[in-house]
């Protein structure tokens, strides 16, 4: 029986991308050979080749001459770099990004409370423990702060939101460093995150939404104060 190339390669691509999404295949991993994939999924090698080409076009994998096909992270630099340039030149734009976060991340928190797994909760606890250690050492916990929000988006189970939050974290990296140097801000951010995580862990979507709204409103005001001082 002949394969139906259009349908079969799309099905195979979806299955392989799901493995990437689930963490079975990670960035840098080499995919099995065409021969192995054809046998494993019961398709022809031409279907495998077309599936891999379609995945390469959207940045999920990279074919290396004579080396095979490897999982790669979709590049968001094409979106992030121009936004970061605007932030560097326009303080008001950074404030508007925080407004956008206020709209979307409140919904992310609600979804995370409903969809989170026990493993994801443990990972977020670990991140906040690292943030606390960093602050106690005199640091600001900027990286851990960004990681927590990314993990929250991951727990929401929506890849588009994950990419959006990752992009915002990159864009606001400079802004976060500015606000985290304001007295008491790192400690307050840690407390906020702990409250958000408790609500997510207890699967209380309404409280998770309320806590992250309060956190982001505070971040929004801090950013405006920081820019006014400059």
Question: What is the pLDDT confidence band of residue 118, given thresholds at 50, 70 and 90?
Answer: very high
Average pLDDT over residues 192-217: 96
What proportion of the chain, given as a percentage, has pLDDT over 70? 79
Give the end of a domain, one of 47, 71, 95.
71
Domain shared by 84 and 167, yes or no: yes
Domain shared by 44 and 104, yes or no: no
Contact residues for 32 (Cβ-Cβ < 8 A; gap 6+) = 40
Is pLDDT at 226 greater than 80 in this prediction?
no
Is pLDDT at 83 greater than 60 in this prediction?
no
Domain shared by 19 and 38, yes or no: yes
Domain shared by 84 and 64, yes or no: no
Is pLDDT at 32 greater than 50 in this prediction?
yes
pLDDT tens for each residue of 131-184:
999 999 988 888 888 889 989 999 999 878 887 787 776 666 655 655 666 778
Is pLDDT at 191 greater than 70 in this prediction?
yes
- Give the pLDDT of residue 56: 80
Domain shared by 109 and 173, yes or no: yes
Domain shared by 28 and 92, yes or no: no
Average pLDDT over residues 204-209: 97
CATH number of the domain to which 120 belongs = 1.20.120.530
Q: How far apart are CA 125 and CA 22, in angstroms?
A: 20
User: Cβ–Cβ contacts within 10 Å for residue 110, how many?
Assistant: 20
Higher pLDDT, 20 or 30: 30
Domain shared by 51 and 11, yes or no: yes
* Degrees, nearest 5: CA angle 126-95-201: 25
Domain shared by 155 and 126, yes or no: yes
- Give the pLDDT of residue 140: 84
Give the end of a domain, one of 49, 71, 93.
71
- Give the pLDDT of residue 147: 87
Give the end of a domain, one of 56, 71, 86.
71
**CA atoms lying within 13 Å on the CB side of residue 73:** 7
Please count the structural domains in the chain.
2
Is pLDDT at 117 greater than 90 in this prediction?
yes
Higher pLDDT, 70 or 7: 70
Higher pLDDT, 83 or 165: 165
**What domain range includes position 192?**
77-229
CATH number of the domain to which 24 belongs = 1.10.10.10
- Give the pLDDT of residue 2: 47
- Give the pLDDT of residue 230: 54
Q: Share the mean pLDDT of the chain.
A: 83
Domain shared by 207 and 110, yes or no: yes
Is pLDDT at 94 greater than 80 in this prediction?
no
DSSP character for 72?
-
- CA terminus-to-terminus distance, the chain: 70
Domain shared by 129 and 184, yes or no: yes
Domain shared by 94 and 154, yes or no: yes
Domain shared by 195 and 134, yes or no: yes
Higher pLDDT, 147 or 129: 129
């Amino acid at each position: 029986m002949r394969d139906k190339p259009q349908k079969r390669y799309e099905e195979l691509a979806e299955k392989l991308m799901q493995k990437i999404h689930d963490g079975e295949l990670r960035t840098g991993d080499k995919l099995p050979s065409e021969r192995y994939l054809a046998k494993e999924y019961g398709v022809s090698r031409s279907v495998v080749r077309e599936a891999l080409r379609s995945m390469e076009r959207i940045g999920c994998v990279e074919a290396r001459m004579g080396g095979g096909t490897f999982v790669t992270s979709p590049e968001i630099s094409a979106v992030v770099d121009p936004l970061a340039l605007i932030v560097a030149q326009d303080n008001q734009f950074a404030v508007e990004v925080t407004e956008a976060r206020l709209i979307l991340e409140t919904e992310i928190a609600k979804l995370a409370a409903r969809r989170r797994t026990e493993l994801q909760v443990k990972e977020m606890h670990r991140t906040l423990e690292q943030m606390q250690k960093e602050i106690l050492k005199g640091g600001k916990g900027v990286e851990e702060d960004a990681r927590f929000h990314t993990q929250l988006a991951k727990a929401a189970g929506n890849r588009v939101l994950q990419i959006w939050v990752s992009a915002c974290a990159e864009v606001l990296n400079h802004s976060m460093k500015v606000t985290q140097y304001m007295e008491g801000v790192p400690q307050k951010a840690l407390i906020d995150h702990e409250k958000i995580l408790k609500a997510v862990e207890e699967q209380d979507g309404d409280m998770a939404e309320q806590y992250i709204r309060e956190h982001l409103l505070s971040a929004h005001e801090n950013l405006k104060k920081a820019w006014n001082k400059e």
